[in-house]
Amino acid sequence: MVLVGKKAPNFSAKAVVNGGEIVDGFSLEQFIGKNHVLFFFYPKDFTFVCPSELHAFQSRLSDFKDKGVEVVACSTDTPESHWGWLQVPKDKGGIKGITYPLVADQTKTITENFGVLFGDYFVNDNDELEADGPMIAFRGLFLIDKEGIVQHQIVNNLPLGRNVDEALRMVDALKHHEDEGEVCPANWEKGKDAMKENFAGVADYLSKH
């Protein structure tokens, strides 16, 4: 499912915020008109690649905040599972020290609505409900603008961790386009030349590179 250019699916769910407080009714709607949002899914608490990603985003959290971006994570675990994992030190495989919100998608509807649920439910020949996958999230990442529109998404399979620097680069590209009205060519980074969105602008850029 491609959500780019569309309104990010709305939801209201329990989440763990500030490193240990369980809250009801957490929603991305609170950021509309105020902040961009980097919303990412990870497969499961108490696993292996996942803490490396969660800590990697935490280590750059101030960079996202400085750019006006809220970081929010989500998995299909319970809020109690999130809370428990937050009590485990980093050197023991835990995520103690993570301060951005962790959404608990217990019903798997958020993950399904964002198109990153690994598996589907079906009724077998014995009228029993089964699943053809683990029913956890792929490593989906969505950059959502202040209007609630998805501007960028990537989805990785379970073994493939994401690159936080690339996520920050995409934030810079989006904000440059919003602020300057220019489009960002291949391998663009903040501080480099961009293009005017017309043939003259493209020709000028290409003549210099």
DSSP string, 72-130: EEEESS-HHHHHHHHTS-GGGT--TT--S-EEE-TTSHHHHHTT-EE--EEE-TTS-EE
- My answer on whether 58 and 131 are in the same domain is yes
The SS3 assignment for 51 reads: helix
**Which residue in this structure is represented by tokens 């009590």?**
87
Specify whether 184 is catalytic.
no
Report the domain count for the chain.
Answer: 2
* Catalytically annotated residue among 38, 50, 168, 171: 50
Find the domain containing 190 and state its range.
163-209
The SS3 assignment for 149 reads: strand
- My answer on whether 55 and 119 are in the same domain is yes
- My answer on whether 154 and 95 are in the same domain is yes
Q: pLDDT, tens digit, for every residue of 110-125?
A: 999 999 999 988 889 9
Please indicate, yes or no, if residue 55 is contained in any of the structural domains: yes
d(CA 55, CA 8): 25
Please indicate, yes or no, if residue 138 is contained in any of the structural domains: yes
pLDDT over 80 (residue 156): yes
- My answer on whether 156 and 90 are in the same domain is yes
Q: pLDDT, tens digit, for every residue of 83-113?
A: 999 999 999 999 999 999 999 999 999 999 9
Q: pLDDT, tens digit, for every residue of 25-67?
A: 999 999 999 999 999 999 999 999 999 999 999 999 999 999 9
pTM of the model: 0.93
